[in-house]
A and B are shown apart, each in its own frame.
Chain A
Amino acid sequence: MKKRKFGFALTAVLAAGTVLAACGDEETTDNGSSTTEEGSNSGDAFSVAMVTDVGGVDDKSFNQSAWEGIQEFGAANGLSKGDGGFDYLQSASDADYNTNINNLLRRDFDLVFGVGFMMADAMGEIANENPDAKLAIIDSEVDAPNVVSVLFKEQEGAFLAGAAAASMSESGKIGFVGGVDIPVINRFHAGYVAGAQAVNPDIEIQVQYTGAFDKADLGKTAANLMYSSGVDIIFHAAGGTGNGVFSEAKERKAKDPDANVWVIGVDADQYDEGQVDADTNVTLTSMLKGVNAAVVDISTRAQDGEFNGGETLVYGLKEGGVQLADSRGAIPEDVMAVIEDYTAKISSGEITVPEEKPAK
């Protein structure tokens, strides 16, 4: 009796397994054919891959920008996503960096990018263990002969954003919403304050660090406080948290079309984020950080056999690493002239923008 029942249970499980296995087989053949269709990756092509930090490739910020750069490089060289072409892995927590970078190296990608300052430790460790691997890190410095470090002069772009905000503000109050209080974000902060004070020494600048890059609700609360106290322009350097700043501004604009609220976006052109309706947009401009251009640049150099491991590349205003996005008419001609003036002065070295956030 017992045996029979047991046998029945076993048969049931086996049957289910077989059915599913059959489905699986079908899928495999499907996949197989599709791989051959798009499989233009020849064995000797130069392949690139990246590991995101916890933001993911759809963070509307620098992870996304880096991934766009990788895709651009892939398209220019006729590569497709997958082994031997280009790919990315997303990290769910900082425990995953090490494994993700290693996994990509094991799949023989010729160049692996780590995106974000948090990855520096993992990068350094792996660089020592794999001296032949070609690695690159964005937003941090790793001291190893096979790692290219990429830094940006965020403060220079933020200076222009600050100058624009101070020139445009009607209330004389502007705001800055930062993510985590770390050197990268401090550079945004420092440049923004310096730029605003260059235009108007008496300007009031409200600053708040939310302590997170992925908490839109905190960004919204911060923006609410600032707008309520008379601030009319907020610059955010807070990744996903900044999306809350946009939603607060859009809500205010939707309720009262005459409300004077603006947001300055960060990293990528965030014009679409500020769209209220067909005619209204709260995005004044965005401070672009050319992660994508840097990724393409480094990949191309490495492909040409000029991989500059051990170097730290700094992309500033002069190198086109940072700039302001098209304001689509939100910023008038005379203010644009002021911004261009500052751009020239910073590029020529006449103005040096501070990196350290101002003391309170």
Chain B
Amino acid sequence: MSNRVVNILVPVISIIVGLLVGAVVMLVSGYDPVKGYIALWNGIFGDSYSIGNTIRQITPYILAGLAVAFAFRTGLFNIGVEGQLLMGWLAAAWVGYAVELPRIIHLPLAILAAAVAGAFWAFLVGFLKARLNVHEVISSIMLNYTALYVTNAVIKSLSDGGFKTETVLPSATLRAQWLRDMTDNSSLHLGIILSLLMVLVMWFILEKTTRGYELKAVGFNQNAAEYAGMSVKKNIILAMTISGVFAGLAGAMEALGTFQNASIKAGFTGVGFDGIAVALLGANTPLGVVFGATLFGSLKYGALNMPNAAGIPEEMVSIIIALIIFFVACGYVIRLGLQKFGSKKEGN
């Protein structure tokens, strides 16, 4: 079997197997899988409102996925995307409401603030790793919690003891009336354009620049990179910082697009952690991340319609969605199966 066929077959079969197992779970627990999947489908593509909101849900996943993927490509495991996202969220919301500027400056400034905040939070991780050899997984996990409580405390003091900041000014919002009109008042916003742009940016940095080549080289083999005259420490810090830029931008999507403010969180949003899965599903390539994010975002948003239209309880829906993702993620098993299947036939 040719490689190309396998590459297309693997994800397709994975999704089908995931859906089938999900269907069995629904059947066993007494719900109608056909109705359930129709509800899921309609929840994703049913009308312009659903499509708009699905795209809105995909937007931060793309950026979070890029953040994780970029770090992976340079040999780093950035598990701190969640914290960097929260910092970016707060920074964007704050710049969004606290300063008054014409839209053409204000919106880019708010987005930039998010990027800087995320970058700073990730820079700390990179710096600790490069200078003091602190493992990035440990420091970034801990910085997630730090970010959660720091942002909560700042939001509280900014809002005089309230639980959310003021709404961002119209000059800083990513929302656009024409997008809302087009999608029946969904919360689709311009951020999707920015996130797709960032996909290009990541591809460009990694594939078309010398710096990107160095970053990848450090990821492949630190010793070899060092021997070739590259500064490993500098590249580690730079890689984390760029990864943090993507994560911070994901926060800007929430601040300036979806929520229009920053509010106190009792726990993590989960977008940053899902970003790890998105990146792995996409094999850490920019285009792959788009597909991974599309799958994650669609399932996540469409699943809301399953209790609504098919009466399946939330817990059940979470299990089914997790199963689908599980099978997509173990594409390797299916690839192996296909190869076995292929070689046996050739033996005939």
* A54 cross-chain contacts in B, Cβ below 8 A: 266
B266 adjacent to A211 (CB under 8 Å): yes
A28 adjacent to B32 (CB under 8 Å): yes
* A24 cross-chain contacts in B, Cβ below 8 A: 23, 32-35
Bound together, the chains give a CA A294 to CA B163 distance in angstroms of 25
Q: Name A183's closest neighbour in chain B (CB-CB).
A: B162
Q: Name B338's closest neighbour in chain A (CB-CB).
A: A9
* A269 cross-chain contacts in B, Cβ below 8 A: none
Partner pick for B263 among A94, A96, A107, CB 8 A cutoff = A94
Task: Say whether, besides A24-B32, A99-B304, A182 and B23 are in contact (CB < 8 Å).
Answer: no
* A20 cross-chain contacts in B, Cβ below 8 A: 20, 23-24, 27, 33
Over the window 179-190 of chain B, the binary record of Cβ atoms lying under 8 Å from chain A Cβ atoms (1 yes, 0 no) is 000000101000
B266 adjacent to A214 (CB under 8 Å): yes
For chain B, the count of residues having a C-beta within 8 Å of the partner chain is 47
At the interface with chain A, which of B99-107, B122-130, B307-315?
A: B307-315
Q: How many residue pairs, one in A and one in B, have C-beta atoms under 8 Å apart?
A: 93
Bound together, the chains give a CA A223 to CA B53 distance in angstroms of 42
Tell me if A27 is interfacial: C-beta within 8 Å of chain B: yes
Tell me if A300 is interfacial: C-beta within 8 Å of chain B: no
Q: Name B267's closest neighbour in chain A (CB-CB).
A: A212
A359 to chain B, nearest CB (A): 12
Question: Secondary structure at chain B's binding surface: helix, strand, loop or mixed?
Answer: helix
Over the window 98-142 of chain A, the binary record of Cβ atoms lying under 8 Å from chain B Cβ atoms (1 yes, 0 no) is 111011100100000000001001000000010000000000000
Tell me if B98 is interfacial: C-beta within 8 Å of chain A: no
Bound together, the chains give a CA A214 to CA B267 distance in angstroms of 10
A342 to chain B, nearest CB (A): 28
A146 to chain B, nearest CB (A): 15
Task: Say whether, besides A1-B345, A2-B1, A20-B20, A31 and B304 are in contact (CB < 8 Å).
Answer: no
For chain A, the count of residues having a C-beta within 8 Å of the partner chain is 44
Tell me if A16 is interfacial: C-beta within 8 Å of chain B: yes
Tell me if B305 is interfacial: C-beta within 8 Å of chain A: yes
Over the window 1-32 of chain A, the binary record of Cβ atoms lying under 8 Å from chain B Cβ atoms (1 yes, 0 no) is 11011100100010010001101110110010
A90 adjacent to B314 (CB under 8 Å): yes
Q: Name A49's closest neighbour in chain B (CB-CB).
A: B308
Over the window 6-28 of chain B, the binary record of Cβ atoms lying under 8 Å from chain A Cβ atoms (1 yes, 0 no) is 00010001001000100110010
Tell me if A198 is interfacial: C-beta within 8 Å of chain B: no
Tell me if A39 is interfacial: C-beta within 8 Å of chain B: no
* A99 cross-chain contacts in B, Cβ below 8 A: 53, 301, 304
A205 to chain B, nearest CB (A): 20
Partner pick for B304 among A6, A28, A100, A181, CB 8 A cutoff = A100
Bound together, the chains give a CA A73 to CA B32 distance in angstroms of 29
B24 to chain A, nearest CB (A): 8
Tell me if A93 is interfacial: C-beta within 8 Å of chain B: yes
A181 adjacent to B161 (CB under 8 Å): yes
A27 adjacent to B34 (CB under 8 Å): yes
A5 adjacent to B185 (CB under 8 Å): no
B308 adjacent to A31 (CB under 8 Å): no
A129 adjacent to B53 (CB under 8 Å): no
Tell me if B108 is interfacial: C-beta within 8 Å of chain A: no
Partner pick for B20 among A16, A25, A118, CB 8 A cutoff = A16
A12 to chain B, nearest CB (A): 10
Bound together, the chains give a CA A137 to CA B27 distance in angstroms of 36
B308 adjacent to A89 (CB under 8 Å): yes
Q: Name B2's closest neighbour in chain A (CB-CB).
A: A2
* A212 cross-chain contacts in B, Cβ below 8 A: 266-267
A93 adjacent to B34 (CB under 8 Å): no
A28 adjacent to B34 (CB under 8 Å): yes
Tell me if B264 is interfacial: C-beta within 8 Å of chain A: yes
B34 adjacent to A180 (CB under 8 Å): no
Q: Name B265's closest neighbour in chain A (CB-CB).
A: A94
Bound together, the chains give a CA A93 to CA B254 distance in angstroms of 13
B187 adjacent to A98 (CB under 8 Å): yes
Bound together, the chains give a CA A284 to CA B138 distance in angstroms of 45
Bound together, the chains give a CA A27 to CA B33 distance in angstroms of 8
* B152 cross-chain contacts in A, Cβ below 8 A: 211
* A9 cross-chain contacts in B, Cβ below 8 A: 9, 13, 341
Tell me if B209 is interfacial: C-beta within 8 Å of chain A: no
* A2 cross-chain contacts in B, Cβ below 8 A: 1-2, 5
B34 adjacent to A102 (CB under 8 Å): no
* A159 cross-chain contacts in B, Cβ below 8 A: none
A95 adjacent to B308 (CB under 8 Å): no
Task: Say whether, besides A211-B266, A212-B267, A214-B266, A25 and B34 are in contact (CB < 8 Å).
Answer: yes
Tell me if B49 is interfacial: C-beta within 8 Å of chain A: yes
Bound together, the chains give a CA A59 to CA B12 distance in angstroms of 40
Bound together, the chains give a CA A100 to CA B259 distance in angstroms of 15
B27 adjacent to A23 (CB under 8 Å): yes
Over the window 50-64 of chain A, the binary record of Cβ atoms lying under 8 Å from chain B Cβ atoms (1 yes, 0 no) is 000010100000000
A-B complex: 7 closest residue pairs judged by Cβ atoms: A24-B34, A27-B32, A212-B266, A103-B308, A129-B185, A90-B314, A182-B163
Can you give 30 contacting A-B residue pairs, CB < 8 Å? A1-B345, A1-B346, A2-B5, A6-B5, A9-B341, A20-B23, A20-B27, A24-B23, A24-B33, A24-B34, A27-B34, A27-B35, A28-B34, A28-B35, A31-B32, A89-B308, A90-B307, A94-B259, A94-B263, A95-B258, A96-B304, A99-B301, A99-B304, A102-B49, A121-B164, A180-B264, A181-B156, A181-B161, A182-B162, A182-B163
Sample of 4 further A-B pairs with CB below 8 A, known A9-B13, A27-B31, A99-B304: A23-B27, A93-B270, A182-B162, A213-B266
**B residues at A contact (CB < 8 Å):** 1-2, 5, 9, 13, 16, 20, 23-24, 27, 31-35, 49, 53, 57, 152, 156, 161-164, 185, 187, 258-261, 263-264, 266-267, 269-270, 301, 304-305, 307-308, 311, 314, 341-342, 345-346
